[in-house]
Amino acid sequence: MQEEAQDIVRFRAVYNDGEPESTILLTGLKNIFQKQLPKMPRDYVGKVVYDKYHASMCLYKPATLEVVGGITYKPFFDRKFIEIVFCAISSTEQVKGYGARLMNHLKDYVRSTGDLRYFLTCADNYAIGYFRKQGFTTEITLDKAVWMGYIKDYEGATVMQCTLVPRVKYLDVHETLAQQKRDLYHRIFRYSRCNVIHPGLSVFRVDGGLPIDPMSIPGLAETGWTPELSRERAKPPKSPLYILFTQLLDDMRNHADSWPFLEPVDPNHVQGYYDIIKEPMDLRTLEQNIEADRYHSLESFGRDVQKIFDNCRTFNEPTTKYYKAGNGLERYFNARKDELAKKCKEEDSSLI
């Protein structure tokens, strides 16, 4: 951003640490929120902004300490998420890209302060579009037990979630994607012959044309095409429930409690596991079964998923983190399965 590079504006994390400059910025931020969020009680806004358990990412002009906008949030380090409470840009400074830049600063900063993987917020109808552009979704994969009762819920608001992508520096994401695109094009052009122009075929000049061996067409053989490729049978179609299965699998993988079940249990690390567990199952194996089209009903898919949780409780003690993770993922799967199955049935009753 040009203004940031020229030091016309700055982004800074601000806490109520008693420092004069921090107090000035927090006060300016409070005024922005009170003006831009008129439905919020003014006293409540001030209480949250100055609260020592909350923090803010502030956008301001360093020459005058004039606050342009910001985000106030509350971190829950033990639960690995933050709640975005307020987010606003001054009405005179909007449509300049400040909102997206502000959120990217917050993502990079928050991740540097601890193991925080998720953003949650309650967005009104006017804010949903902005949050979607910043990677938020209304599909909440974080277990309700993790966040329910911890974040502030407002009447008429929609809970939204953003899952941070590991090893991504959000402030550089546009440059990173552009560089990847350039690298991909260079690799393609290194092997591609699409720039070679071959002479046209003369056989079409004869009335009715003439038979021709396809392999004699200039450039065709170099593409790797052979007549056998055209004779290969197409792969059989996937089960009509394929999309439902893959959606459930992706949702489980993105859940906070999925970490023990992503891959098959390694017998070198877990001694005696396969002596006790005779029908092992994990999300990787589940994916392979889906791709092999082994599930032809939601019941058969659900039976294999249930093996993950039953095996977990059979092998682990109730006090272990693995046992608790299995229960958490099971609750999420059952709720999500019912939700998606209902939606699928409404669209096509023959599927379920």
Instruction: Give the residue numbers annotated as catalytic, written as ranges.
Output: 83
Cα separation, 207 vs 194, whole angstroms: 30
> What angle separates helix 283-291 from helix 242-253, to the nearest 10 degrees?
160
- Which amino acid is present at 93? E
For 140, residues 6+ apart whose C-beta sits below 8 A from its C-beta are: 120, 159, 160, 161
What is the phi-psi region of residue 276: left when phi exceeds 0, alpha when psi lies from -120 to 50, beta otherwise? alpha
Residue 87, CB half-sphere, CA atoms under 13 Å: how many? 24
Residue 4 near residue 97, CB atoms below 8 Å: no
Q: What is the DSSP string of 249-284?
A: HHHHHTSTT-GGGSS---TTTSTTHHHH-SS---HH
Beta bridge partners of 137: 161
Beta bridge partners of 121: 84, 160
Phi, psi (rounded to 5 degrees) for 10: -135, 155
Residue 190, CB half-sphere, CA atoms under 13 Å: how many? 6
For 12, residues 6+ apart whose C-beta sits below 8 A from its C-beta are: 25, 57, 58, 60
